[in-house]
């Protein structure tokens, strides 16, 4: 695995429009954002929350070394076995 991937975060975002009308008279946009490495999913009711959710990961999470360890060891040494 490339070194830069240890310091990268991936997100999947799904956004949809609720067709019921809220008190302001406008339809509401909702969605979720999923952090790929951890599998955590966060729901939001305002698209401006997307940046806040991503920022939490960029500022507060430690290095992703623990998330990638199993993949890194397999990628770096694909033909080695545990008992070698």
* pLDDT tens-digit readout, 62-84: 555 555 454 444 455 455 555 54
Q: Is residue 22 part of a domain?
A: yes
Long-range pairs for 49-54 at CB < 8 Å and ≥24 separation?
50/13, 54/9, 54/11
Give Rg (Cα) of the chain.
Answer: 19
pLDDT tens digit string along 22-32?
A: 677 777 889 99
Quote the tokens at residue 16: 């949809």
pLDDT at 1: 47
Whether 19 is in a domain gets the answer yes
So what's the pLDDT on residue 83? Answer: 54
Can you give the residue range of the structural domain that contains 34? Answer: 9-62
- Which is more confident, 40 or 81? 40
How many domains, in total, are found in the chain? 1
44 found inside a domain: yes
In the chain, beta strands by DSSP E: 11-21, 27-35, 41-44
79 within some domain: no
- Backbone dihedral region for residue 49 (phi beyond 0: left; psi -120 to 50: alpha; all else: beta): alpha
Whether 48 is in a domain gets the answer yes
Domain-embedded: residue 71: no
pTM here is: 0.59
- Please report the pLDDT score of residue 62 as a whole number: 55
pLDDT in the model for residue 26: 76
């Amino acid at each position: 695995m490339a070194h830069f991937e240890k310091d990268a975060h991936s997100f999947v975002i799904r956004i949809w429009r609720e067709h019921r009308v809220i008190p302001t008279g406008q339809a509401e946009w909702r969605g979720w954002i999923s952090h790929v490495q951890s599998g955590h999913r966060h729901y939001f009711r305002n698209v401006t929350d997307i940046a806040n959710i991503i920022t939490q990961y960029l500022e507060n999470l430690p290095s992703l070394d623990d998330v990638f360890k199993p993949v890194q060891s397999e990628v770096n040494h694909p033909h080695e076995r545990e008992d070698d």
